[in-house]
Amino acid sequence: MTLVTMADVTAATTRIAPYVRRTPLLRLPGERLWIKPENRQHTRSFKVRGAVNAVARLAERGVGHVIAQSSGNHAQAVAYAAAEHGVRATVVLPDTAPELKVTAARRLGAEVVIVPPALREHTCLALADRFAATVVGSDDFDVIAGHGSAGIEIGRDLPDAGTILVPVCNGGLLAGIAVAAKAVNPAIKVIGVEPELAADGADSFRAGRRTAWPVRETYRTRADGLRAPILGALAWEHIQRYVDDMVTVSEDRIDLAADLLEHKLGERAEPSGAVATAAYLAHGATLPAGPVVAVLSGGNVAGALAGGA
């Protein structure tokens, strides 16, 4: 299996630059914690980085229709990327997806198909066959490379960072950031974070093999963007090679972190986006010395400003 390299991430960073926002690092007052606010992206989520890179490359090859299945943020990102590159987009969402994410995908021009959570992947593949559309998976090679651009930015903005905390769904963001961060500073610790109620990735990391959780269990968490029942196969290969640890956080810690981000920094975080900050609150005393960066991966919550900060 071919892995993403720093050269791939560097090329992706250049390719997506016209379409994404270079987010800053924000210091949490009184702490050694810095926040990477990906809620400021055009679709209020980091997902735009990987989706734009993947769709741009597909458009260059003449692909005219892309399809994706998602809890919401990847769908919006694919819809945005497709619109920017003149490509048709279809997205499959679960019937539990927040209405604001469904509405946003439609507003960006995608055809939206709603199904029960357990049918997302099957429906996506069936529709891809029917429409002769190309699937954009959330841990595809080009998606991981695009996500790595966030790791490059962290390395440039805070070269002495000791730890990066990254939310984990199917692992694409963690994989991309780990590739870039380790290339810039091999000594940095890259740690994935999951809700305790959807900890298939942490279980996989401990067992040394991909471990699936039943959908009925992962859907207990309020972090709707982190409910994937198993890590992506390609993301897993990167995680095994580059990631130092995976930790979990409680629902209460996630809520506390979201409140802290809003009240201390004025940043709106959806539960999925707050888990990395929650990990600092729960595990900060045991993290390696030096500055800690927590990726605020998304802010698609009611009351958030459309289009990002």
Question: Could you list the pLDDT tens digit for every one of the 309 residues in the chain?
Answer: 899 999 999 999 999 999 999 999 999 999 999 999 999 999 999 999 999 999 999 999 999 999 999 989 999 999 999 999 999 999 999 999 989 999 999 999 999 999 999 999 999 999 999 999 999 999 999 999 999 999 999 999 999 999 999 999 999 999 999 999 999 999 999 999 999 999 999 999 999 999 999 999 999 999 999 999 999 999 999 999 999 999 999 999 999 999 999 999 999 999 999 999 999 999 999 999 999 999 999 999 866 544 433
Query: Quick one: 152 and 94 in the same domain?
Result: no
What does the DSSP assignment read for 107-144? HTT-EEEEE-GGGHHHHHHHHHHHHTPEE--TT-HHHH
* Boundary residue ending a domain (69, 102, 135): 135
Under 8 Å between Cβ of 297 and 173? yes
Is residue 302 in a domain?
Answer: no
Task: Read off the amino acid at residue 89.
Answer: A
Is residue 35 in a domain?
Answer: yes
Rounded Cα–Cα distance for residues 243 and 158 (Å): 19
Query: What is the pTM for the complete model shown?
Result: 0.95
Q: Give pLDDT, residue 301.
A: 86
Is residue 72 in a domain?
Answer: yes
Closest CA to 285 of 34, 31, 37: 31
Query: Quick one: 254 and 180 in the same domain?
Result: yes
Helices and strands: H and E segment counts in the chain: 12, 10
Is residue 309 in a domain?
Answer: no
Number of domains forming the structure of the chain: 2
Query: Quick one: 80 and 176 in the same domain?
Result: no
Under 8 Å between Cβ of 293 and 279? no
Query: Quick one: 111 and 257 in the same domain?
Result: no
Query: Quick one: 54 and 188 in the same domain?
Result: no
* Boundary residue ending a domain (135, 170, 189): 135
Contacts of 287 (CB under 8 A, 6+ apart): 162, 163, 189, 191, 280
* Boundary residue ending a domain (135, 153, 182): 135
Is residue 268 in a domain?
Answer: yes
Strand order in the sheet with 292-296: 26-27, 33-37, 292-296, 163-167, 189-195, 245-249
Q: Give pLDDT, residue 115.
A: 97
Under 8 Å between Cβ of 61 and 86? no
Is residue 303 in a domain?
Answer: no
Query: Quick one: 26 and 170 in the same domain?
Result: yes
The DSSP element (H or E) to which 68 belongs, if any, is strand 65-69
Under 8 Å between Cβ of 133 and 66? yes
Query: Quick one: 15 and 27 in the same domain?
Result: yes
Strand order in the sheet with 65-69: 111-115, 88-94, 65-69, 134-135
Q: Give pLDDT, residue 303.
A: 60
Query: Quick one: 103 and 11 in the same domain?
Result: no
Query: Quick one: 155 and 279 in the same domain?
Result: yes
Q: What range does the domain containing 59 cover?
A: 48-135
Query: Quick one: 188 and 279 in the same domain?
Result: yes
Rounded Cα–Cα distance for residues 50 and 149 (Å): 9
Closest CA to 161 of 193, 192, 184, 144: 184
Q: What is the CATH number of the domain that holds 111?
A: 3.40.50.1100
Rounded Cα–Cα distance for residues 43 and 211 (Å): 30
Is residue 308 in a domain?
Answer: no
Q: What is the signed CA dihedral for 232, 79, 42, 144, rounded to 10 degrees?
A: 20
Query: Quick one: 154 and 254 in the same domain?
Result: yes
Positions annotated as catalytic residues are 47, 297
Query: Quick one: 245 and 277 in the same domain?
Result: yes
